[in-house]
Amino acid sequence: MSSASEGAGDAGVMLHPELRADRDEAPKAPNGQRLDHAEGASKPLRVRSEKQPRGARIHGNRPVDQAEAAARFIAAPEHEKMHDERLWDLRQKRDREMHGIPEWEELRTLASSIKEHTLVHLDEYLDQFEANARANGIHVHWAKDAAEHNHIIHRVLADHGAKSLIKSKSMLTEECGFRHYMAAVGIEVIETDLGERIQQLDNEDPSHVVVPAVHKLRTDVAEVFAKTIGTDPDNSDVHYLAEAQRQSNRPLILAADAGMTGCNFAVAETGTFVVCTNEGNADLSANVPKLHIASIGIEKMIPRLEHLAVFVRLLSRSALGSPITQYTSHFRGPREGGEMHIVLVDNGRSARLGMPEFWTSLKCIRCGACMNTCPVYRRSGGLSYGATYSGPIGLIIDPTFNAHKYSNLPFASTLNGSCSNVCPVKINIHEQILAWRRELVKQHEVSFVKKAAMKAAGELLSRPAAYRAAIATADVALAHLPRFVIYNGLNAWGDHREIPHPPKHTFHSWYHANRGAK
Ligand code: SF4
C-alpha cells in the first residue's frame, strides 16, 4: 500500500500532503505520465453539488434577455457567491496597488490624454505604424471587418500549408468569430491561455476580458476536463487540473504549424507591438512555430515607446491588482527563418470613432476593472450578457455592433459610477451607458412597457407633492398587504430580494418635524 509520504517522495516535494487520500497513487495524466506539480491524485476536495448555470439564450437577432440569464446565475448560489467574492477580491487588490502609487490620478489623466490624442490622429499613427512595421520585415494587412480578418488569416495559413494554429487570448478574435470560422475551414485552433482553453473545451465564450473562466467553480473545470482530456472527474484539485491540461496541450503546441497573438499596445514610432500575459502563453504562440500572425484592433495604437510605461503601470494594477503582468513581450519583427504578419482590424471602430457620445470608449485597454467593480456583473456572470464584451464597457461597445440585439444591455446597470471611477483611462462609462439608453429610446429599441414605466416614474419624480403622497401610500400598503399581492410575477425586483420594512418616518417627515421650523 502506498502511503501519502511514499507517494510524495516519488513525486518530489508536495506542498499539501494532507490533501492526498491514504490509498492514492501518485497523480498521473490519462496517458500514464506523472504529474509532478499535482498535489492530489483522486481524493475529491469537494463534492460537486451545483450545476454550472449557462449563459444567455441567443435567438438569432432577437434582443438578448440578460435579466433571464442573470436570474439563472443568481439561482445558483455557489456560483454567484464565488463569482462575486473573486471579482471583489480583484477590486480590493486593485485599490491596494492604487494607494501605493501617489501619482495614480496623474497616470490616469496622462493615459486618457495619450489615448484621446492618438484617436484624434489615428489615421496618421496607423500609417506611421504600418511603414515602420514593414521596415521591420513584417507583412501588414488591413481588415475592414470580421469576415475580412478571418479570410486574410486563412489565406496566410493556406499559403503555408498550415493545418493547426496555437493562439493566445484575444478579444478581437472573439469579436470576429475566428475559432468557428477556422473550424469550418478545417484548421485546428488550440488556445494557449489556461482559462481560454477551458472555455474552448467547454464550447463557451470567455465571460471576462482578463479571466475568461472566472464564472466556473473548479468542480466545473474538473467536469469539462474529464469529458475532454480524460481526467478524474472526482478530482478538482487545481494543481492536478492545471498540470493535466499542460500535459495535454503541450504536444499540440510543439507540433503546431502557426502561432497567433493579439496585441495590447502597438507603438507607431517603432512599428512594434506588445502583448501582456501572466502565463507566457503569447510567447509560446509567437515563438514555437515559425509563422506568427497578430490580430490588432486599430485602437491599440500609441504614438511612442515612452508612452508604453504609462499603460504598463496601469494595466495589471487595474486588472488583477498586481504591479505588472508576468510577461510583457515586445515583438519587433520575424525571427530568423520565420515570418510575421499583422492584421490591422477596423470591424466597426471607425464608425464608433464618429459617434460623438461613444468615441472615447475606444480608449479602453481591456483591463476588466469596470467588470470587477460592477455589482450587476459580479452577480450575474459575464455570459448573461450574451455578447463578446460584458460588464459596463460591454454595455457601450455591444450596441455599436447591433443596437437591436443588444438593446437590453444598457439597462443592466445601476449607474452608480464605480466603473468610471476605476477606469484607468478615465472613460465616463456610466454616462455613456445612460447616453445609450436615450439613444435606444430614439431608435425605438425600448419596449412599450419599459417606456411607459419610465415615463410614469419621470412624472412622479418631477412632482414632489405627488411623490410624497405615493411614498406614504406605498409604505402603508407594504405594511398591510398580504405577501402574495407584493411578491408575484409582476414584481421582478422581489424575485430575488425582500423589500425592506418601511421606516416609521421618511426623511422628509423627520426633517419637517425636527428641522422644518428652523
Ligand atoms: S472601460 Fe476602462 S475599466 Fe473597463 S475594461 Fe476598459 S479600460 Fe478597463
Residue with CA nearest ligand 1 atom 2:
423
CA of 224 to the centre of ligand 1 (A): 30
What is the 8-class DSSP label of residue 24? P
CA of 316 to the centre of ligand 1 (A): 12
* Average predicted confidence (pLDDT) for the chain: 89
36 near 243, Cβ under 8 Å?
A: yes
DSSP, collapsed to helix, strand or coil, labels residue 235 as coil
304 pLDDT higher than 70 = yes
Task: Give the Cα separation of 81 and 300 in Å (integer).
Answer: 34
Q: Which atom of ligand 1 is nearest to the CA of 429?
A: 1
303 pLDDT higher than 80 = yes
Q: Which atom of ligand 1 is nearest to the CA of 391?
A: 4
Give the residue-averaged pLDDT of 417-431. Answer: 98
Condensed to tens digits (0 to 9), the pLDDT of residues 477-507 reads 877 888 877 787 777 777 777 777 777 777 8
Q: Which residues line ligand 1 (CB under 6 A)?
A: 364-370, 393, 422-425, 427, 429
CA of 82 to the centre of ligand 1 (A): 22
Specify the residue for cell string 455589482.
Answer: 375
CA of 371 to the centre of ligand 1 (A): 8
Mutate to test the pocket of ligand 1, among 312, 315, 393 (most ligand atoms within 8 A of CB): 393
516 pLDDT higher than 80 = no
16 pLDDT higher than 50 = no
CA of 361 to the centre of ligand 1 (A): 9
Give the residue-averaged pLDDT of 32-48. Answer: 52
Confidence category of residue 26, pLDDT binned at 50, 70, 90 = low
Residue with CA nearest ligand 1 atom 8:
367
The set of cell numbers assigned to 271 is 512599428
Specify the residue for cell string 486588472.
Answer: 319
Confidence category of residue 518, pLDDT binned at 50, 70, 90 = low
CA of 200 to the centre of ligand 1 (A): 24
Q: Going by C-beta distance under 8 Å and a sequence separation of 6 or more, which residues neighbour residue 35? A: 11, 27, 28, 29, 240, 243, 244, 247
CA of 113 to the centre of ligand 1 (A): 15
CA of 23 to the centre of ligand 1 (A): 49
Q: Which residue has the higher pLDDT, 145 or 21?
A: 145
Give the residue-averaged pLDDT of 461-465. Answer: 88
The set of cell numbers assigned to 351 is 464608425
Residue with CA nearest ligand 1 atom 3:
423
Least confident of 50-54, 419-423, 467-471: 467-471
Condensed to tens digits (0 to 9), the pLDDT of residues 187-224 reads 999 999 999 999 999 999 999 999 999 999 999 999 99
Residue with CA nearest ligand 1 atom 7:
364
Identify the pLDDT of residue 8.
Answer: 33
Mutate to test the pocket of ligand 1, among 264, 311, 365 (most ligand atoms within 8 A of CB): 365
Specify the residue for cell string 508576468.
Answer: 326
Residue with CA nearest ligand 1 atom 6:
364
Identify the pLDDT of residue 3.
Answer: 34
Give the residue-averaged pLDDT of 61-68. Answer: 95
Over its C-alpha atoms, the chain yields an Rg (Å, rounded) of 26
Task: Give the Cα separation of 43 and 18 in Å (integer).
Answer: 11
Q: Going by C-beta distance under 8 Å and a sequence separation of 6 or more, which residues neighbour residue 455? A: none
The set of cell numbers assigned to 303 is 504614438
Separation in Å, CA 369 to CA 219, 231, 319, 361, 408: 26, 33, 5, 14, 22
250 pLDDT higher than 50 = yes
CA of 356 to the centre of ligand 1 (A): 19
Edge-to-edge strand list for the sheet holding 188-191: 139-143, 339-345, 291-297, 258-261, 164-167, 188-191
CA of 256 to the centre of ligand 1 (A): 33
pTM of the model: 0.85
Q: Which atom of ligand 1 is nearest to the CA of 319?
A: 8
Confidence category of residue 39, pLDDT binned at 50, 70, 90 = very low
Q: Which residue has the higher pLDDT, 450 or 153?
A: 153
Give the residue-averaged pLDDT of 414-430. Answer: 97
Q: Which atom of ligand 1 is nearest to the CA of 369?
A: 3
CA of 365 to the centre of ligand 1 (A): 6
Mutate to test the pocket of ligand 1, among 316, 427, 436 (most ligand atoms within 8 A of CB): 427
- In the chain, pLDDT over 70 holds for what percent of residues? 90
Mutate to test the pocket of ligand 1, among 314, 370, 396 (most ligand atoms within 8 A of CB): 370
CA of 382 to the centre of ligand 1 (A): 15
Give the residue-averaged pLDDT of 9-17. Answer: 41
DSSP, collapsed to helix, strand or coil, labels residue 142 as strand
- In the chain, pLDDT over 90 holds for what percent of residues? 75
Task: Give the Cα separation of 320 and 194 in Å (integer).
Answer: 16
Q: Which residue has the higher pLDDT, 119 or 469?
A: 119
The set of cell numbers assigned to 506 is 421618511
18 pLDDT higher than 70 = no
Mutate to test the pocket of ligand 1, among 314, 377, 429 (most ligand atoms within 8 A of CB): 429
CA of 359 to the centre of ligand 1 (A): 14
